[in-house]
Amino acid sequence: MAEAIDPLDEIHAGLAELDAAGLRRRRRVVTTPCSPDTRLADREQPVTAFCSNDYLGLAAEPALAEAVHRGTERWGVGSGASHLVSGHYAAHEALEARLAAFTGMEDALYFCTGYMANIGVMPALVGRGDAIFADRVNHASLVDGALLSRAELIRYPHCDLAALAARLAASDAPRKLIVTDSVFSMDGDIAPLAELLALAEAHQAWLLVDDAHGFGVLGPQGRGALAHFGLTSPRLILMGTLGKAVGVSGAFVAGQHDVIEWLISKSRSYIFTTGSPPLLADALLTAVDLIEQGDARRAHLAALIARLKNGLRLARWQLLPSDTPIQPVVIGDNHETLAVSRALDAEGLWVPAIRPPTVPKGAARLRITLSAAHSFEQVDRLVETLNRLEATQA
């Protein structure tokens, strides 16, 4: 018989191992609203943050705060129950209709979070004996959704269409689901969605697109990655999040009317949870208006991205090729990446060090994210500091 392990001893030892490997996760306490001008509890001086996914600067937008205030007066706070019992309000219904129209889909379903949307949708579409084809660097929530579904998880090398085509052709699974991030969250590049859709159609597969980092940023009026490529198809299922560029919280899934009906009856993370506060759905209607009218914000964001890319002169470190607000600088070693992140912090610049398992081993990186709320001066200071640190850091 194997000797019993003291589970608490194991956790003490496990934490020490994480420390030794530079992999212990720590949270920093923010004391100001989400904005590039940030104050932290552990730091006297303010920092300029390049961390959030608030790409359009809506998270602290006064018009949204006012919408929340109005929503609270109308709805109070809690929803009181799950959507299928008594927690589905007119505000939720209106938001879903607005999101469907905005994305050009037949119907939409509002989830509490993107994580819950992904783990709820995949098991509703495929199960044991079926196959899920997933880009190797997809978001963790898509991996977890695949595991919950019990379908076989077949991963293909990042954006490798030939490899995907070969795996699809070799599979005799009765139901197939291809799943991809639209904008890869730790790399910033955009998936070849038109080609992925062509493969899905050729193999009678679903294509689930996780547009967490595209919705609000890509496409005309920020309608997202599918609009960016002009794609429509009954095979397409779109997941978009509402806590990133949209600045609030939550997520939606959009697709054919009957697909959404199916999810309402089958998606466990939709069914077995309390509906999110209706005041948020109300505020989200205002947020979608701001997204739609947000061309000036998107133009400023694009100019900031160009400024950063044109300014960085890196030799040892690698700025990944990306045209999105996610601009990762790969350093490689966990400890060196942490050291650079700390050196930036000492200069009043907050850029998170992203380490395995979030990214592959040996590919630790600074994940710079830009927001329409940044100024050119702030980006210039980041560029100048990174150029200098790379030249001087041993």
Ligand X SMILES: *Cc1c(COP(=O)(O)O)cnc(C)c1O
Q: Could you list the residues that contact ligand X (CB under 6 A)?
A: 113-115, 118, 139, 141, 181, 185, 210, 212-213, 241, 243, 251
Q: Please answer whether residues 133 and 168 qualify as being in contact, where contact means their C-beta atoms are separated by less than 8 angstroms.
A: yes
> Of 161, 111, 109, whose CA–CA distance to 135 is shortest?
161
Point out the residue whose Cβ comes nearest to ligand X. Answer: 114
Q: From CA 217, how far away is CA 322, in angstroms rounded?
A: 14
Sign of the dihedral defined by the CA atoms of residues 282, 283, 288, 292, in that order: positive
Q: Please answer whether residues 17 and 350 qualify as being in contact, where contact means their C-beta atoms are separated by less than 8 angstroms.
A: no
Bin 129: left if φ > 0, else alpha if -120 < ψ < 50, else beta: left
Closer CB to ligand X, residue 79 or residue 378? Answer: 79
Q: Please answer whether residues 128 and 150 qualify as being in contact, where contact means their C-beta atoms are separated by less than 8 angstroms.
A: yes
Residues in the chain: 394
Q: Shortest gap between Cβ of 183 and ligand X (angstroms)?
A: 8
Instruction: Extract the tokens encoding 382.
Output: 């980041």
Q: Shortest gap between Cβ of 52 and ligand X (angstroms)?
A: 11
Closer CB to ligand X, residue 151 or residue 326? Answer: 326
Q: Please answer whether residues 213 and 181 qualify as being in contact, where contact means their C-beta atoms are separated by less than 8 angstroms.
A: yes
Closer CB to ligand X, residue 368 or residue 386? Answer: 368
Closer CB to ligand X, residue 274 or residue 385? Answer: 274
Q: Shortest gap between Cβ of 99 and ligand X (angstroms)?
A: 14
Closer CB to ligand X, residue 243 or residue 348? Answer: 243
- What single DSSP character describes residue 35? S
Q: Shortest gap between Cβ of 320 and ligand X (angstroms)?
A: 16
Active site residues: 185, 213, 244
Q: Please answer whether residues 163 and 157 qualify as being in contact, where contact means their C-beta atoms are separated by less than 8 angstroms.
A: yes
Q: Shortest gap between Cβ of 141 and ligand X (angstroms)?
A: 5
139 three-state secondary structure: coil
Q: Which residues contact 231 (CB under 8 A, 6 or more apart)?
A: 193, 194, 197
